[in-house]
Amino acid sequence: MEGEPTAELIRAQLRRLRTNAELSQEEFGKLVHFSGSQVSAVELGQRPLDRFFLRRADEVLGTGGLLTSLLKLAERDGQPSWFRPWLEAERNAQQLWCYHPTLVPGLLQTENYARTVIRGDDMLSDEEVDKRVAIRLDRQAVLDRPQPPKLVAVIEEAVLRRAGEEFRGVMAQQLVYLIERTERPHVSVHVIPSEVSTHVGLAGPFTLARGNDGGWVGYLENQLGGSTIDKDQDVATLIARWESVRSEALPQRQSTLLMKEVMTSWT
């Protein structure tokens, strides 16, 4: 797997912890609901590290979540080089401003919504889909820390109403989650109503993060990945575009009422 040095550390820790617990691979396998041969394959690197397996291993071995925490590090290490600067900025942000013209922003997606969106890329294996979903959900932990960043998200009304029969349940759940999130004092979601037919944000999604030093960096997504923006002039342009996009959106209370209206229309 990507992040191989950390992955090897996980396997070494797993072997050490199992051995110290005086459990054979067969005995340990029964406790974590895997076969002995599957345990052996994980320890030898012949089977990908599995989040469920490591969670059960942490419980059985009483590690305090060590193995799953190391897996998060391995996944972070395995991120493309172009994405790592943004992950660092996101983790250290005091403020986050995000706009997406076609999707609910990743920091506010439910697991089912994220999985549905990611699975839309038919070039990804089931294993890669699971990995990307887990990473996206792990990133959301930044909003649950003791002193979370202030998140302001702007989305299009059309995003809330995009739901075929097979997607209706996913979107209804997503709307409930969005409304619940806005009850937190550090999360705001603003909706641009459908009657706003055009504005500068439709050129593409972007996010801005302000760090502890008061400086801003931006992030732009595209079909092949994304790029972190840190040049002063480019950041200033994104901030100006954010102000323009934000000015088109409804206030928080009206946005929440609109989300509730859409949700009620489906249920």
Residues 62-74: what's their mean pLDDT? 83
CB distance 170 to 113 below 8 Å = yes
Residues 116-130: what's their mean pLDDT? 88
Distant-in-sequence, close-in-space partners of 110: CB < 8 Å, separation ≥ 6: 170, 173, 174, 177
What does the pLDDT read at residue 76? Answer: 67
CATH, domain range 4-77: 1.10.260.40
CA distance 34 to 28: 8
Structure tokens at 11: 């396997």
User: Higher confidence at residue 190 or residue 11?
Assistant: 190
What does the pLDDT read at residue 195? Answer: 93
Is residue 40 scored above 70 in pLDDT? yes
User: Higher confidence at residue 244 or residue 131?
Assistant: 244
Is residue 80 scored above 70 in pLDDT? no
Where in the chain is CATH 1.10.260.40?
4-77
Distant-in-sequence, close-in-space partners of 36: CB < 8 Å, separation ≥ 6: 24, 25, 26, 28, 29
Q: Is the pTM of this model over 0.75?
A: no
Residues 107-115: what's their mean pLDDT? 95
CA distance 135 to 251: 31
CA distance 257 to 217: 32
The string of pLDDT tens digits covering residues 153-209 is 999 999 999 877 778 889 999 999 999 999 999 999 999 999 998 999 999 999 999
CA distance 131 to 146: 26
Is residue 68 scored above 70 in pLDDT? yes
CATH topology of domain 84-266: Endonuclease; Chain A (3.30.870)
What does the pLDDT read at residue 1? Answer: 45
* CB-side neighbour CA atoms (13 Å) of 118: 23
What does the pLDDT read at residue 97? Answer: 98
Residues 125-154: what's their mean pLDDT? 89
Where in the chain is CATH 3.30.870?
84-266
Residues 81-92: what's their mean pLDDT? 79
The string of pLDDT tens digits covering residues 204-257 is 999 999 998 889 999 998 877 788 999 999 999 999 999 999 999 999 999 999
CA distance 112 to 133: 9
Is residue 106 scored above 90 in pLDDT? yes
CB distance 186 to 151 below 8 Å = yes
Mean pLDDT of the chain: 88
- What 8-state DSSP symbol labels residue 27? H
Is residue 17 scored above 80 in pLDDT? yes
* Torsion angle (degrees, nearest 10) of CA 152, 156, 159, 162: 160
* Torsion angle (degrees, nearest 10) of CA 206, 212, 213, 219: -10
Question: Per-residue confidence at 3, pLDDT binned at 50, 70, 90?
Answer: very low
Closest CA to 221 of 207, 209, 235: 207
Is residue 115 scored above 80 in pLDDT? yes
CB distance 205 to 99 below 8 Å = yes
Percent above pLDDT 70 for the chain = 94
